[in-house]
């Protein structure tokens, strides 16, 4: 491997010691570090220790066994910058992309420094100034000055290491998830010190902790914090990948989210700041889940940059079809190959590191079917899923699947094994249809369809835990219910826009979903029409009430609790601007909505029958459910015929606590344009009903016995309870 700026240490004193191939990665020992890296098709692997002036000391790894290259590297100590150079065949059609002119990140690096420059040298093949070229021709220019470097970190200080009793361990029945972006959550929050806004440290400031605990959140789910970079196409448009779903290093916290002081101090300080934030959130009783992107990497498609796995062993790390061609099931240019056991090992090692060393409580897996694809496609018996369910570290955490990718037969909601929980898109879509697109049809004088389980049937199915989707043996809390997420309209935009408005993304408004199941309630976007605003705000409350009161685990998107808007942008992944940052300067209506959200979550905490979905802790679920009873507006039980009446839009849901000698809850749903007199059901053992909450303000009686007529406004949800 020629190296014009390299010092090679070939002296007898530097002769490598025999190193075992486990663990993979770099482990400090003695005068340097032991190194083990998987590169099954390589002819040679060198470790490059880099000085500040760019010079390198290269040490070849002398031994290889089962594709793992090992050796001891003198001088590679904590704080050292390093990378790999790999020699071997250049045959891109066969996945052989070895190019020793390219400095490669260590997949196991726990710290990185530097950025990916938008230059031809970062590619393994020759490209022109427009970054277009010929894969068949390897580029022999050195990439080291233009790519990030791995940094070897020592163990965390003793006072930052997770302790046995640190994790809050919130039961699933009590869990309320809050999905947030590290930067966006606090970038505009004035009660956070300016130097901490938009940082890991900002997450654990009193203002954030008070908001989360006051709201009733138990679990903070962070959009990706793995070190990431922006796609080349975005950078050429002057934009960035704000969400971070473009991973560069899976074991290093993203440095841009650290304070300026931590960034200046280096990767160890960045990691320590992240760890302190997790510890302080735990002290407030809040769990931390990470949204993780193990399905693809920042190396993009076959003509993308040459940064790490591509140069180590493209043929092993990346998914290929039966003909040996790159096979992308993520829509991001590449897909990791979970048929390769070393990919499984790497992912499991990475997950355990974030739990055991950095203290996180679990993970939400982006595009998870990709992680369970074998030669025959997705399998619920895939080795990776089996490992998650049996690993003594990971099986004890909260594990959530995004149960779809864009590959063949990629929609897999309800098909993952225990202990995985799943984002429930059927809940999202069904609840939106019921409250929004059905409302549009009714406003236009049309009758919404009821065929295929639509209308009240669909509402009831989603409210009861989506039994049509999740097997009872997995538990009725398997469903992570959501109405919005980072991807799509915010809750306020869902009721204010019929169409996406993504022009700022620079893709001619072609990006993002074209079917967001929204309803603008009249005009598109902002309006001063008081009647329209009242309808929109009632719709937001109806959606929130359905989310919080339904069986399953509710997930809120940060800012939805007080009506945050993105101006109709439903794909703000590239907007590191106020479009994506949460604006905490609340108007009166937003403060009222925040109070309503707090009340709803307080009701969920107060009434155990709402949280535990009819399941006695420690006992298997009973089928059919014994705790849900359904009544029409006249107080009579719903019959088969009534469920199928196309114009029926009123339903009473009794969440019955009598068997467990607990208070019962009655949810009255009026999903139509007419105010309705609802007769409360009369049942033995149920005393007077006490009004607890309504999505439409108005006078309510202090109490009402069974058989009493309760005037119920159009398009409303009302909650009553027996205590």
What's the rounded Cα separation, in Å, for the pair 587 and 282? 31
Of 349, 291, 273, 312, nearest to 108 (Cα)? Answer: 349
Non-local CB neighbours of 74 within 8 Å, separated by 6+ positions: 9, 14, 31, 32, 59
What's the rounded Cα separation, in Å, for the pair 331 and 529? 41
What's the rounded Cα separation, in Å, for the pair 98 and 100? 7
Give the H/E segment covering residue 268.
helix 267-283
Q: Are the C-beta atoms of 30 and 78 separated by less than 8 Å?
A: no
Distance from first CA to last CA of the chain, Å, rounded? 77
What's the rounded Cα separation, in Å, for the pair 680 and 27? 68
CA distances (Å), origin 482, targets 2, 239, 546, 552: 55, 29, 10, 10
What's the rounded Cα separation, in Å, for the pair 314 and 323? 15
Of 521, 452, 458, nearest to 492 (Cα)? Answer: 521
* Catalytic residue of the set 46, 300, 328, 366: 366
What's the rounded Cα separation, in Å, for the pair 613 and 626? 10
SS3 539: helix
Q: How many CB atoms lie within 10 A of CB 377?
A: 14
What's the rounded Cα separation, in Å, for the pair 694 and 701? 12
Q: Tokens 């997450």 correspond to what residue?
A: 203
What's the rounded Cα separation, in Å, for the pair 234 and 374? 32
Burial class (CB in 10 A: 0-12, 13-18, 19+), 693: buried
What's the rounded Cα separation, in Å, for the pair 74 and 506? 49
Told to judge if 612 belongs to the known catalytic residues of this protein, a careful annotator would answer: no
What's the rounded Cα separation, in Å, for the pair 284 and 664? 31
Q: How many CB atoms lie within 10 A of CB 12?
A: 5
* Catalytic residue of the set 179, 273, 299, 402: 402
SS3 392: coil
Strands (E) located in 464-615: 479-481, 553-557
Of 335, 332, 143, nearest to 246 (Cα)? Answer: 332
Supply 458's token pair.
């669909």
What's the rounded Cα separation, in Å, for the pair 129 and 261? 36
What's the rounded Cα separation, in Å, for the pair 48 and 263? 23
What is the dihedral angle through the alpha carbons of 509, 510, 515, 521, rounded to the nearest 10 degrees? 10
Q: Are the C-beta atoms of 34 and 85 separated by less than 8 Å?
A: no
Told to judge if 623 belongs to the known catalytic residues of this protein, a careful annotator would answer: no
Length of the chain: 723
What's the rounded Cα separation, in Å, for the pair 436 and 671? 10
Catalytic residues: 366, 402
């Amino acid at each position: 491997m020629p190296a014009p700026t390299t010092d090679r240490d070939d002296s007898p004193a530097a002769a490598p010691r025999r190193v075992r191939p486990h663990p993979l990665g770099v482990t400090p020992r003695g005068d340097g570090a032991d190194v083990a890296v998987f590169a099954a098709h390589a002819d040679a692997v060198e470790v490059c220790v880099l000085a500040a002036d760019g010079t390198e000391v290269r040490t070849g790894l002398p031994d290889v066994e089962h594709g793992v290259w090992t050796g001891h590297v003198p001088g590679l100590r904590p704080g050292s910058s390093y990378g790999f150079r790999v020699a071997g065949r250049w045959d891109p059609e066969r996945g052989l992309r070895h190019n020793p002119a390219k400095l490669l990140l260590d997949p196991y690096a726990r710290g990185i420094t530097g950025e990916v420059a938008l230059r031809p040298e970062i590619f393994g093949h020759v490209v022109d100034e427009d970054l277009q070229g010929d894969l068949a021709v390897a580029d022999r220019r050195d990439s080291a000055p233009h790519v990030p470097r791995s940094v070897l970190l020592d163990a965390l200080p003793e006072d930052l290491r997770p302790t046995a009793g640190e994790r809050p361990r919130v039961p699933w029945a009590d869990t309320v998830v809050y999905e947030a972006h590290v930067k966006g959550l606090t970038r505009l929050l004035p009660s956070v010190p300016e130097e901490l806004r938009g940082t890991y440290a900002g997450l654990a400031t009193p203002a954030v902790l008070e908001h989360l605990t006051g709201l009733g959140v138990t679990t903070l789910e962070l959009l990706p914090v793995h070190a990431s970079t922006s796609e080349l196409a975005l950078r050429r448009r002057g934009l960035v990948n704000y969400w971070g779903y473009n991973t560069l290093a899976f074991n290093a916290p993203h440095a841009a989210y650290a304070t300026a002081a931590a960034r200046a101090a280096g990767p160890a300080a960045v990691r320590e700041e992240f760890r302190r934030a997790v510890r302080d959130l735990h002290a407030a009783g809040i769990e931390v889940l990470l949204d993780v992107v193990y399905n693809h990497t920042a190396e993009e498609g076959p003509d993308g940059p040459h940064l790490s796995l591509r140069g180590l062993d493209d043929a092993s790390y990346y998914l290929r079809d039966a003909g040996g061609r790159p096979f992308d099931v993520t829509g991001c240019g590449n897909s990791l190959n979970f048929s390769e056991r070393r990919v499984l090992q790497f992912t499991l090692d990475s997950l355990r590191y974030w739990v055991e060393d950095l203290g996180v409580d679990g993970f939400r897996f982006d595009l998870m079917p990709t992680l369970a694809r074998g030669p025959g496609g997705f399998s619920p018996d895939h080795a990776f899923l089996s490992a998650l369910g049996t690993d003594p570290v990971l099986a004890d955490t909260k594990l959530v699947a995004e149960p779809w990718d864009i590959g063949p037969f990629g929609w897999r909601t309800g098909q993952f094994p225990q202990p995985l929980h799943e984002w429930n898109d059927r809940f999202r879509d069904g609840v939106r249809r019921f409250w929004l697109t059905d409302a549009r049809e009714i406003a236009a004088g049309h009758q919404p369809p009821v065929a295929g389980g639509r209308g009240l049937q669909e509402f009831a199915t989603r409210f009861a835990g989506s039994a049509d989707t999740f097997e009872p043996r997995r538990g009725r809390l398997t469903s992570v219910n959501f109405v919005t997420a980072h991807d799509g309209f915010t809750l306020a935009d869902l009721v204010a826009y019929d169409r996406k408005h993504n022009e700022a993304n620079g893709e001619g408004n072609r990006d993002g979903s074209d079917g967001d199941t929204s309803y603008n309630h009249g005009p598109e976007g902002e309006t001063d029409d008081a009647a329209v605003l009242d309808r929109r705000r009632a719709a937001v409350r109806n959606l929130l009430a359905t989310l919080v009161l339904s069986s399953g685990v509710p997930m809120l998107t940060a800012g939805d609790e007080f009506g945050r808007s993105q101006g109709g942008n439903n794909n703000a992944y590239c907007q590191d601007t106020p479009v994506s940052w949460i604006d905490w300067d609340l108007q009166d209506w937003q403060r009222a909505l925040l109070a309503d959200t707090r009340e709803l979550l307080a009701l969920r905490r107060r009434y155990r029958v709402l949280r535990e979905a009819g399941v006695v802790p420690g006992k298997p679920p009973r089928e059919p459910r014994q705790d849900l009873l359904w009544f029409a507006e006249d107080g009579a039980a719903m019959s088969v015929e009534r469920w199928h009446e196309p114009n029926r839009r009123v339903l009473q849901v009794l969440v019955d606590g009598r068997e467990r000698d607990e208070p019962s809850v009655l949810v009255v749903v009026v999903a139509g344009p007419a105010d309705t007199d609802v007769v409360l059901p009369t049942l033995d053992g149920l005393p007077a009903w006490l009004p607890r909450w309504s999505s439409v303000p108005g006078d309510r009686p202090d109490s009402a016995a069974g058989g009493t007529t309760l005037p119920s406004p159009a398009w409303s949800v009302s909650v009553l309870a027996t205590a």
